[in-house]
Amino acid sequence: MPSIMPNSSNSSKNKYLKLFYQYFVNHIITLTILTIMICFLIELLRLGPIEILNIFNSLKFDQIQILCSCFLIIFISTIYFMLKPNTIYLVDYACFKPPITCRVPFATFMEHSRLILKNNPKSVEFQMRILERSGLGEETCLPPAIHYIPPNPTMEEARREAELVIFSSMDSLFTKTGLKPKDIDILIVNCSLFSPTPSLSAMVINKYKLRSNIKSFNLSGMGCSAGLISIDLARDLLQVYPNSNAVVVSTEIITPNYYQGKERAMLLPNCLFRMGGAAILLSNKKAEHKRAKYRLIQVVRTHKGGDDKAYRCVYEEEDREGKVGISLQKDLMAIAGEALKSNITTIGPLVLPASEQLLFLLTLIGKKIFNPKWKPYIPDFKQAFEHFCIHAGGRAVIDELQKNLQLSSEHVEASRMTLHRFGNTSSSSLWYELNYIESKGRMKRGDRVWQIAFGSGFKCNSAVWKCNRSIDTPVDGPWEDCIDRYPVHIPEIVKL
């Protein structure tokens, strides 16, 4: 029987060779400077002190030249610090934890579906099949209005849900950060499908009696990626307004958007979307450097709305009976894959180490010149990030990104467990995932986090954060009473 030792030895050699290559290429500038300094030091030792002194004395310094050089250095330094963008800190954030009375176990969900769609058993069966494969658990929550039979999606009930989610998140943020309402300079609220008048941002201003000169924005219709769009908007505003605090509120109000028809493409969101929300405090104040949790490194936004298929793959419309719902098309995952490809093409050069960029470039050149059949090199984003927060839009979304980015089960654990415990909470899901990582005690100083979100339009947005300090395991938050039970095994199919 042939020995397996040579294969093991080759594998070990390849591993160390790859590590050597990564270290050498990623630190080539440092190694070059170090080599030059060592050569310079050796040359100084060879010359000796007397020769060095003679060379120094032979140099003639003009007083005007010295003054001009000093002025030039000061001028360049001043320009650099004036043009340097403000550092954006994520001081802290708070996620909404729905009350236990809002929980919808599978049995409750299916019972309601049978009663609401009693004349359409095929639609009930379809929802059951989706729920069995969804990756959701028994503790996800829907707003009180959806618990009625039939549901009661009135404007009043929708406002009640908005107040419950947004005010609870804001109150938690005030408690965690010590922030006072009058200290908020910028307020951004994003909610895709519920856009009342006055706006949700006005509702927050009224509740907390915020200042009359506050810069407030209300984003709607931008889908599940709107949370990172809000972060990007806050970043741009904080570059313009120095010494300011910005609060971003991300949520989706379910009450007015629960579909009661029988179109299958519109029944999908009923099975996946659940209550959720988050409030995030950003600041450009230097005083926040020590206590801030994260520092914003990059935001990259990709919009595929110029393509008709991408534009209509997530679309709000009426069915043949005049009932409004969100239609999810079958080619959604293919479109999401194309949007992701465009996004990582932009973000790759900004975050990937030199070793990965060089391999990608060499493969691209080889494919163009030598062999068009060469497979393109997929960069290893695990070299750039320690943690990944993938939008918990559904099991298929997480599976597709895990496959395309070649991630391990641990890298997508936060996304899968968030989907299981809270469902698809739309734009706020990324913050439940980040809180999961913190609650597991995995976030250390210097760690980099990549948040990836998808949304209607069609959009793929990314945000990169760097941990500013080692974060203690939170004693409160959405995971406080269940983190010890996670991770859990999620079967491919849960038989109902």
Would you name the residues annotated as active-site residues?
224, 303, 387, 391, 420, 424
- How far apart are the C-alpha atoms of 374 and 347, rounded to whole Å? 23
How many residues make up the chain in this entry?
496
Largest CA distance in the chain: 102
- How far apart are the C-alpha atoms of 193 and 317, rounded to whole Å? 12
SS3 readout for the chain: CCCCHHHHHHHHHHHHHHHHHHHHHHCHHHHHHHHHHHHHHHHHHHHCHHHHHHHHHHCCCCHHHHHHHHHHHHHHHHHHHHHCCCCCEEEEEEECCCCHHHECCHHHHHHHHHHHCCCCHHHHHHHHHHHHCCCCCCCCECCHHHHCCCCCCCHHHHHHHHHHHHHHHHHHHHHHHCCCHHHCCEEEEECCCCCCCCCHHHHHHHHHCCCCCCEEEEECCCHHHHHHHHHHHHHHHHHHCCCCEEEEEEECCCHHHCCCCCCHHHHHHHHHECCCEEEEEEECCHHHCCCCCEEEEEEEEEECCCCHHHHHCEEEEECCCCCEEEEECCCHHHHHHHHHHHHHHHHHHHHCCHHHHHHHHHHHHHHHHCCCCCCCCCCCHHHCCCEEEECCCCHHHHHHHHHHCCCCCCCCHHHHHHHHHHCECHHHHHHHHHHHHHHCCCCCCCCEEEEEEEECCCEEEEEEEEECCCCCCCCCCCCCCCHHHCCCCCCCCCCC
